């Protein structure tokens, strides 16, 4: 999958990103594995392709299975992910949740 322009607003400024993506599921914050995704600086929306969605699903599944170890897991994820995620325009967990929900229909 590739975008020459943003599917939402049509901007050609859409950028391909590679890294961890942080998003919120219910009230929990989850950091994805390293994935490829697209982010539009014009409207701020983020798009995930099928492969990225699969990896996110696996991360969510692993998280739900490892709930007993979630405290340890969360610390490990934060340490590994901080350097990568900080420069990618994060903090749009609501938008990420919205896109994930819409792509799963």
User: Crossing angle, helix 93-103 and helix 50-65, to 10 degrees?
Assistant: 110
Query: Is 52 within 8 Å of 16 (Cβ atoms)?
Result: no
- Asked if 8 touches Zn ion (CB under 5 A), the answer is yes
Of 43, 60, 84, 95, which lies in the binding site for Zn ion, with binding defined by CB under 5 A? 43
- Asked if 11 touches Zn ion (CB under 5 A), the answer is yes
Of the two residues 11 and 36, which places its CB atom closer to Zn ion in the complex? 11
For residue 88, give the nearest of 48, 39, 35 by alpha carbon.
Answer: 39
Q: How many helices (H) and strands (E) are present in the chain, helices listed first?
A: 3, 5
Smallest separation, CB 58 to Zn ion (Å): 27
- Asked if 60 touches Zn ion (CB under 5 A), the answer is no
The site for Zn ion (CB under 5 A) is made up of 6, 8-9, 11, 40, 42-43
């Amino acid at each position: 999958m590739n975008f020459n322009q943003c599917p939402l607003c049509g901007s050609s400024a859409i950028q391909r990103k590679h890294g961890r993506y942080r998003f919120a599921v219910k009230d929990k914050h989850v950091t994805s594995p390293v994935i490829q995704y697209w982010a539009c600086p014009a409207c701020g929306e983020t798009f995930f392709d099928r492969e990225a969605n699969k990896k996110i699903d696996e991360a969510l599944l692993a998280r739900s299975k490892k709930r007993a170890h979630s405290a340890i897991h969360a610390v490990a994820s934060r340490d590994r992910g901080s350097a990568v995620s900080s420069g990618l325009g994060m903090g749009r967990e609501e938008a990420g949740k919205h896109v994930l929900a819409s792509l799963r229909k």
